[in-house]
Structure 1
């Protein structure tokens, strides 16, 4: 499966550097390095504004999700009792609710709050729909941390808040980074909520710009070299981020399942 996915990725990158006629003449030949495909895709699809919007949303929403979820994960992970178990189950159930099921009441609510076609409204939606998974992930991570450190801090007179801030939060750095990166990757590629709640081109995100570019290509005659260049522009940043921090992601995911 890894080999197949790597082969598809390599073919996408190679095809993005080839001319349209070359792709159909010899689909698996070596590329002619048509770098103009990227410039044409960036210009034709208005990727500049869309990339800036996506970058702002991801750079604000992903950290905001972690900031909100970390105290909740700590409280649930270090508490013993039916209430904590019930709340943890509540967040776990939230992961299984598809956003498509709640999009109509969400739209009505956002319309009443005048937050449709608004980047701040999209930011709130991104934070809200990302919370169940992040809280559940960090709950397991905080639960796996040594209880002796927390007990020692309590003996020294530290409050729960100080224990969380000065001891447990630094220990949970790997889990926090894992949650941050997973949310960043998911929000960077998110298209459904943006498609529903964004109505003007100046507020569209990068996936929306790519969808519009695909539609434009269908009506004006597809240039597959430019088309694959557009797809690569969307995929490559998060792919490089994952390659760079992939080991830390796996470490955070596995350490959070130790208890």
Structure 2
């Protein structure tokens, strides 16, 4: 009886928390298909007529289309580089014993303690001297460098839980170092790699501070910068429908990405819980 009551209570709490998350999302979506006047006069009402032209106006006139494409390019390339580089580093740090291994691992951990705001001025000066301001490859390099510490720390745990017997069997079968990593260890760490990809995808897609520092030309601005720009413009030109449409466009890719790899993320969250 107590177990049933406890289970009902837990489900009730989870339902309440879910409502607090879902209701604001639904409210944003409803406002994205309302006229700007209706959003201001009747913010909690359903639309009297569907204003789907908000999305067209946001994509073309507000520049969300350019920001969306820029974010896709920067995010996909950055996440790919982060996962590949971090996987190689995490594999070596977790499976090999060599001099200064602990020192190198602790150096990466120190990167987690570096506040972004502390590096803003020197980062801009460095990137400006390298002529990497207002460039995609400059922003991608910064995103990759900033994300390596967390991703290496995360993937190290996944590589450690892979049984050593599989590695030894592959070596006996004649696998060299590169073949061993790419053909054996890399596929076995897939749950961890997908988990790392999801976390980095969400973080980079929504990142604002570093993009604000390094990008000031309209043609290179990512979606968060475009959203911030239209919010500033609202002071002079009230186009709330386009703003809400842009917000919907900003969280749809993240939602789709998560739904596609949701099962792998759950597998990855428990992969390190079992030892050989």
Tell me whether the two structures share a fold, i.e. TM-score over 0.5. yes
Identify the residue that residue 130 of structure 1 maps to in structure 2: 147
Q: How big is each residue's C-alpha offset from its partner over 1:146-183, in whole Å with a ceiling of 9 and x where there is no partner?
A: 11101222333433332212211111112112222222
TM-score by length of 1: 0.91
Residues 198-207 or 85-94, more deviating: 85-94
* RMSD of aligned residue pairs (Cα, Å): 1.9
Matched, 1:224 2:243: no
Q: How big is each residue's C-alpha offset from its partner over 1:100-138, in whole Å with a ceiling of 9 and x where there is no partner?
A: 111211111111111111111111111111111111111
For 1:19 and 1:140, locate their aligned partners in 2 and report how far apart those are by CA, in whole Å.
50
Identify the residue that residue 147 of structure 1 maps to in structure 2: 164
Structure 2 counterparts to residues 53-68 of structure 1, below 5 A: 53-68=70-85
User: Offset at 1:219?
Assistant: 1.9
Q: 1:145 to 1:197 in 2, by over 3 A?
A: same
Count of matched residue positions in the alignment of Structure 1 and Structure 2: 258
Q: How big is each residue's C-alpha offset from its partner over 1:190-218, in whole Å with a ceiling of 9 and x where there is no partner?
A: 11111111121111111111111111122
**Structure 1 unaligned spans of 5+:** none
Matched, 1:27 2:39: no
The 3-state SS of whatever aligns with 1:218 is: coil
For 2:273 and 2:209, locate their aligned partners in 1 and report how far apart those are by CA, in whole Å.
31
Identify the residue that residue 66 of structure 2 maps to in structure 1: 49
Identify the residue that residue 104 of structure 2 maps to in structure 1: 87
The 3-state SS of whatever aligns with 1:102 is: helix
User: Offset at 1:258?
Assistant: 4.2
**Structure 2 unaligned spans of 5+:** 1-16
For 1:171 and 1:37, locate their aligned partners in 2 and report how far apart those are by CA, in whole Å.
45
Identify the residue that residue 158 of structure 1 maps to in structure 2: 175
For 1:3 and 1:91, locate their aligned partners in 2 and report how far apart those are by CA, in whole Å.
39
Contact 1:16-1:232 at 8 Å conserved across structures: yes
